[in-house]
Amino acid sequence: MFRRPPAGSPDMATSPRWRTAPRSWRHCSARRWTRCAPWWCPSPQPTHRPRPPRARRRRSTLPPELFPVLVPPGTPAPRTDLLLPLGPAPAPASARQGTPQGTALQGPLKGKDRRSGPGRTSSSRPSPRPAGYYVLERRDALGGVQQRGVLGALSLRGVDSGHVLRHQRVAEAGVRHHTRLLQESGGTPEPLLLAAPDLGAFQECIDQTIKGGPADLVQPTPEGGLQLLWACDLAWTAGPPALSPVLLADGHHRLEAARRLRRARPEAMADRIPALVVDHRRYPLTLSATHRVVPGLDAGRAARAAARIARVTELPPGAFPAPRPGAFLLAGAGRTWELSEVSPAAMAGRLRSLPAEWVELPTAICDHVLVPALCEDQGIEAELRYTSGLPAPGESGIVLPPPTWDQIWAGAASGTGMPAKSTSLGPAPLPGPLHLLRG
Q: Where are the alpha helices (DSSP H) in 191-343?
A: 202-211, 235-238, 252-264, 299-306
Inside any domain, residue 108: yes
- Regarding whether 264 and 146 lie in a shared domain, the answer is yes
For the entire predicted model, the pTM comes to 0.72
- Domain carrying residue 354: 291-399
pLDDT of residue 119 exceeding 60, the answer is no
* 58 assigned to some structural domain: no
Domain identity same for 211 and 295? no
How far is the CA of 44 from the CAs of 21, 27, 38, 41, 357, in angstroms?
17, 16, 11, 9, 61
Residue 108 clears pLDDT 60, i.e. is over it: no
For residues 256 and 369, membership in a common domain is answered with no
* Domain count of the fold of the chain: 2
**277 is a domain residue:** yes
142, 220: one domain: yes
- Whether residues 182 and 241 share a domain: the answer is yes
Query: Is residue 23 in a domain?
Result: no
> Looking at the domain assignment, is residue 230 inside a domain?
yes
Query: Comparing 274 with 106, which gets the higher pLDDT?
Result: 274
Q: Is the pLDDT of residue 227 over 80?
A: yes
Same domain, 195 and 332: no
Mean pLDDT for the chain overall: 80
406 occurs within a structural domain: no
| pLDDT of 330 strictly over 50 | yes
Same domain assignment for residues 280 and 365: no
> Do 222 and 256 fall within a single domain?
yes
Is 191 in the same domain as 310?
Answer: no
Question: Does residue 16 lie within any of the structural domains?
Answer: no
- Average the pLDDT over 377-381 and give the result: 93
Q: Domain check: are 325 and 370 in the same one?
A: yes
Residue 226 within a domain: yes
- Same domain, yes or no: 386 and 353: yes
Question: Could you tell me which of 343, 350, 351, 345 has the C-alpha nearest to residue 376?
Answer: 350
Label the pairing between strands 335-340 and 328-332.
antiparallel
CATH number of the domain that residue 280 is part of: 3.90.1530.10
Q: 433 and 384, same structural domain?
A: no
CA-nearest of 295, 303, 378, 366 to 337 is 303
pLDDT (0 to 100) of residue 317: 86
